[in-house]
Structure formats: structure tokens, C-alpha cells
């Protein structure tokens, strides 16, 4: 059976899963839970597997992608898996000269600052990321009843790396370009939206049960700037998947004031970081399910504190049509994996209907 057929059957089967039902605001037997950056980081078996293998190389190997994606599913018993990859994978495949440097993050050799620079960012050929579809096909056979979430970086966050040349605290060059050369800015984000949509469609066609669009750094913007310079491009990505028939999750960090505008971009589920209570977030995005939002640092506190916070978040999440429990950002590398397992068990136990 080909991958597309397998993916279609898998999606029909998983439509009734707890995770997909929660994303759609339907009744569930318990609140589903998964963790952002769950594919490794805190797991010793992940560090052992990745030893000596660079990040981009590990993302290109379907065997490694499959094993790394499966590790936290086996370890924690989560309700969904997130495809192991990196937001820079499609840019690398589109011809951008970049590397992911340990301890630093993505580094771009020649930043995009002019229209001529933009010519180096080619449209993405789906065949250039065929290994992603291959990995999804392998994972569908391994995961069986566990939904697989595909993902990609949102246009603004990708643009911030391309313009800055690497990680940035203040996004100074990015904002200067955005305000100073709006023609180039919109051309850049339109190109990145096209690349992102192509990358997600490869995953959708291979059979993922949901997708998440990460806009990690968009919280650096005001609502007015978000609406003018970012919203149309995130909307182009999410609306391009409207006919896929799967839940679309949209997440950013520090986006408490942007949540209504982000909801307008077209996602079915709005991810919320730890700064905004879920009931307050739900009031800002009526009709949408929410995802979140335990502070990753709380996992280092005594268990009674962790339990109290998990219970609070579950209570707040009931204000939304659906709630997917998650952290308010990614798992920190020093996190004790046994605490994550206990959190999954607690969420399931407390939220049982």
C-alpha cells in the first residue's frame, strides 16, 4: 500500500482519537497531553542516539526521525507524537546556506537584507524533502493509534533568522527591515509562506493527523505590527491547509496580546504560553480550542507544586471548547523525564470524565 493510501486510512482511524477530538472541541474521555520539544532533549536515549550526528543530518534520516519521534511516546504515554524535525529544514532544502550550531541555534551564512538576497531563497521543491514523507510513512506503522503532529516554523520566525543571521534577543534588524522596506518584507514573508505551506503539505499528504505552526518570536511585535506585517502571511499558510481535514494548531511565545489576531489567521487550536491563564485566553479566542500551558520551569519544583499547577491548568482549560494539555513552551534539556511521565499520568487521572 502506498504512503498516501496508508495516510488516508490512518487519518480516518485517528479522527476519533482523544487528541483530535479535543482539537475539534468535541467530548473526550480525558484531556489529551503531549509536550513541545518532546522528541528528545531530556531523554538519555535521545542524547545517545544523536551523539556525533548533526541536527540537520538527523532530520534527513527517516530511521533516526522515526526512532527519536517514538522515544517519548514509549517513555511517557502521551496522546500524540510530534514529528522530529527542525523549523530550518525547509529553508535548508530551499537552498539557504545555514547550519544549526550546538549551543547557539540556527546560523545563516548570508543574511537576507536586499531584494537580490531574496533570490537565494528558492521556492521549495517537495522532492527536496521527500525524506520527511518517508519518515511519516514509517511512523504511521509504528504509532498505530497515536496521532502524529506535523509542524513547521511560521513566516515571521523564519524571517527573523534569515534577516538577523541567527538568534536575536531584540530582533533589531528584522524590525528595521519590516518598517524600512515593507516591499522587501512582504516579498520575503510571501516566499516563506509558500515554502512553509509546501513543507506542511508534504507532511499532510504523507498522513499526519494534525499540524502545528510555530511562531516562536512573534511575541516581539505589537498587535498593530502583527496585523500589518505578519497576519496575512500566517493566514496564507493556515488557509492553504483548510481543505486538509485535520486540526491546525498555531503557537507563539509572549503572545498574550496577540491571541485574538493569531486566532484570525485560521487555526483550529490556539497554543498559549505560560504567561496567560487558559481561561483568559479562551475568552479572547471564542470558539477555538486551546493548548497549554504549564511553565517548563515548574517541572523542577517539588512534586506538590507541579501537581497543584497541573490541576489549576486543567480547571482553566475547561473554559474553552477543547483543551490539549502541554507546556507553555518546550521541554528544557535538564528536565527529569520521570516528572514528565508523572504529569501525563496526573492529567489523565484528574481529567477523566
Q: Which residues are catalytic?
A: 37, 41, 50, 86, 161
Please say whether the beta carbons of 312 and 328 come within 8 A: no
32 and 325 in contact (C-beta within 8 Å)?
yes
The residues pairing with 251 across neighbouring beta strands, listed in sequence order, are 214
Q: How far apart are CA 158 and CA 106, in angstroms?
A: 10
Q: How far are the Cα atoms of 49, 59, 138, 146, 337 from residue 133, in angstroms, in the given order?
A: 21, 12, 9, 17, 29
Nearest to 158 by CA among 255, 259, 233: 233
Nine cell digits for residue 237: 499558510
Give the residue from 321, 291, 331, 325 showing the smallest Cα distance to 311.
325
- Please state, in angstroms and rounded to a whole number, the distance separating the CA atoms of residues 69 and 112: 32
Q: Residue 98, SS3?
A: strand
What does the DSSP assignment read for 158-198?
A: HHHHHHHSS--SS-HHHHHHHHH-HHHHHHHHHHHHHHHHH
Cβ 269 vs Cβ 288: under 8 Å: yes
Amino acid at each position: 500500500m502506498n504512503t498516501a493510501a496508508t495516510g488516508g486510512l490512518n487519518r480516518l482511524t485517528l479522527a476519533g482519537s482523544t487528541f483530535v477530538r479535543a482539537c475539534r472541541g468535541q467530548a473526550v474521555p480525558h484531556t489529551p497531553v503531549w509536550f513541545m520539544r518532546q522528541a528528545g532533549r531530556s531523554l538519555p536515549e535521545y542524547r545517545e542516539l544523536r551523539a556525533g550526528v548533526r541536527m540537520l543530518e538527523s532530520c534527513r534520516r527517516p530511521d533516526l526521525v522515526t526512532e527519536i519521534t517514538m522515544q517519548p511516546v514509549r517513555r511517557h504515554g502521551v496522546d500524540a507524537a510530534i514529528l522530529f524535525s527542525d523549523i530550518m529544514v525547509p529553508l535548508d532544502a530551499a537552498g539557504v546556506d545555514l547550519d544549526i550550531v550546538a549551543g547557539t541555534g540556527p546560523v545563516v551564512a548570508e543574511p537576507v537584507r536586499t531584494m537580490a538576497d531574496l533570490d537565494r531563497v528558492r521556492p521549495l521543491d517537495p522532492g527536496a524533502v521527500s525524506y520527511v514523507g518517508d519518515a511519516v510513512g514509517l511512523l504511521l506503522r509504528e504509532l498505530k493509534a497515536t496521532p502524529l503532529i506535523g509542524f513547521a516554523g511560521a513566516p515571521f520566525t523564519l524571517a527573523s533568522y534569515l534577516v538577523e543571521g541567527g538568534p536575536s534577543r531584540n530582533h533589531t534588524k528584522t524590525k528595521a527591515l519590516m518598517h524600512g522596506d515593507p516591499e522587501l518584507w512582504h516579498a520575503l514573508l510571501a516566499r516563506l509562506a509558500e515554502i512553509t505551506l509546501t513543507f506542511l503539505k508534504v507532511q499532510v499528504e504523507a498522513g499526519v493527523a494534525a499540524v502545528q505552526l510555530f511562531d516562536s518570536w512573534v511575541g516581539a511585535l505589537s498587535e498593530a505590527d502583527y496585523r500589518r506585517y505578519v497576519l496575512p502571511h500566517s493566514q496564507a499558510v493556515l488557509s492553504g491547509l483548510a481543505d486538509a481535514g485535520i486540526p491546525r494548531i498555531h503557537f507563539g511565545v509572549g503572545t498574550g496580546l496577540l491571541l485574538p489576531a493569531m486566532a484570525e489567521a485560521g487555526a483550529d487550536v490556539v497554543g498559549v504560553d505560560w504567561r496567560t491563564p487558559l481561561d483568559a485566553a479562551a475568552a479572547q479566542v471564542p470558539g477555538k480550542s486551546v493548548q497549554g500551558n504549564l511553565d517548563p520551569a515548574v517541572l523542577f519544583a517539588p512534586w506538590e507544586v507541579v501537581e497543584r499547577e497541573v490541576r489549576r491548568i486543567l480547571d482553566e482549560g475547561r473554559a474553552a471548547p477543547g483543551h490539549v494539555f502541554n507546556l507553555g513552551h518546550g521541554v528544557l534539556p535538564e528536565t527529569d523525564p520521570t516528572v514528565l511521565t508523572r504529569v501525563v499520568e496526573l492529567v489523565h487521572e484528574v481529567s477523566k470524565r
